[in-house]
Amino acid sequence: MNYKISHPTKVVECEIDLPGSKSISNRLLIIQALCKQEFAITNLSSSEDTKSLQKALKATKVTIDIGAAGTSFRFLTAYLSTLVGKRFILTGSNRMKERPIKELVDALLDLGIEIKYLEKTGFPPLAILGTEITENKVSIDGQISSQFISALLLIAPTLKNGLKLQISGKIVSKPYIIMTLKLMEEFGISHTWLENTIEIKPQKYSAKDYNIEADWSAASFWYEIAALCSSCNITLNGLTENSIQGDRKVMELFKNLGVQTKFKNGSIILSKKEENDISKEINLINTPDLYQPLKCTLFAKNLTTKFLGLQSLKDKETNRIKAVEKELLSLVTTKKITTYKDHRMAMSFAPLCLKYETLQINDVAVVEKSYPNFWNDLKKGGFIITPLTH
């Protein structure tokens, strides 16, 4: 299904209930699976990724197909390795089979887990035999994916001798590792992080009911809308100032682009303010998911900056740097946007109708991966969305 999108007034006034954080949801589901006691999770993400992980954790079959859910695949690779004596085949979509898993598998092999590649070395699918892990020291490259590190940290307290994880190189998406450790602390797990080594001793997760905050990554598209509209009063529910999500940095990044953020009773209110000069360089090493909405906003405003810290983007749902460049180049002439099976492509390009009148977004169902209600929420903001049948 493709949509034609426009906004007749360029004035956006609405109140939006953002989805629960996908990143927090996926970590909590692994903690819940590792915890010996039951606890309730409220406001769990309704994303396809989180649903896939929930389903996988309840699976009774040997083969688990996680589809396109990258975080879920990585977390499950580590989690399934701890289920002693059980055999699994972990697979996914064609794109998943192109996304590297070698560094995480190497670390698990060093810990004594039996894992085999079933197709191409270094990539899914995997055959995993759950083993009791007694080794407690391992090293991993921090420059590939923070999710590899989080996957190991989540299982660390349940291992017989805990884990000393040595991280080499510059860490990408460090706030996501900090998020993992903070969530683990909430459930009773302590750690030490000295220089490049994180140590977690054997401990038990303590059960507690948990309400998940809204997703700052989802908020980024509303910041883009606020930056590109003529005026706005946008309330986004479920976001707090003391969030553990790294993507709250979107507030700071869009401040110079004319977006003001006010916190009020568990919500934020976005309004227009005076624009300032954009930084000559923006380093997104800690927040790479903000690249697409930020790049699209700058393009629409005819602004340029040098982006740093984008090395992880080539291994996402698509090569996000190439995909964005290609679609921005064709935007002015074709007004048709290819989404490359990437949810963030659809959601980053849709707001550009505020600048380029009417756009066509192809394969609109991709938003199910992280923000299923995105198109309905756009309608609340006055966007006109017309399904195209051809």
DSSP string across 304-348: --EEE--GGGGGSSS-HHHHHHHHHHHHHHH-EE--TT-HHHHHH
Catalytic status, residue 289: yes
What are the phi and psi torsion angles at 26 (to 5°)?
A: -65, -35
Distance CA 150, CA 144 (A): 12
Q: Which two tokens stand for residue 350?
A: 């849709």
Q: What is the C-alpha separation between 323 and 340, in angstroms, rounded?
A: 8
Q: What is the DSSP letter of 219?
A: H
Range 155-165 burial, b when 16+ CB lie within 10 A, else e: bbbbbeebbbb
Annotated catalytic residue within 215, 247, 289, 342? 289
Helix locations, 44-188, DSSP H: 48-57, 70-81, 102-110, 146-155, 174-186
Contacts of 139 (CB under 8 A, 6+ apart): 107, 110, 165, 166, 167, 168
Catalytic residue numbers read 289
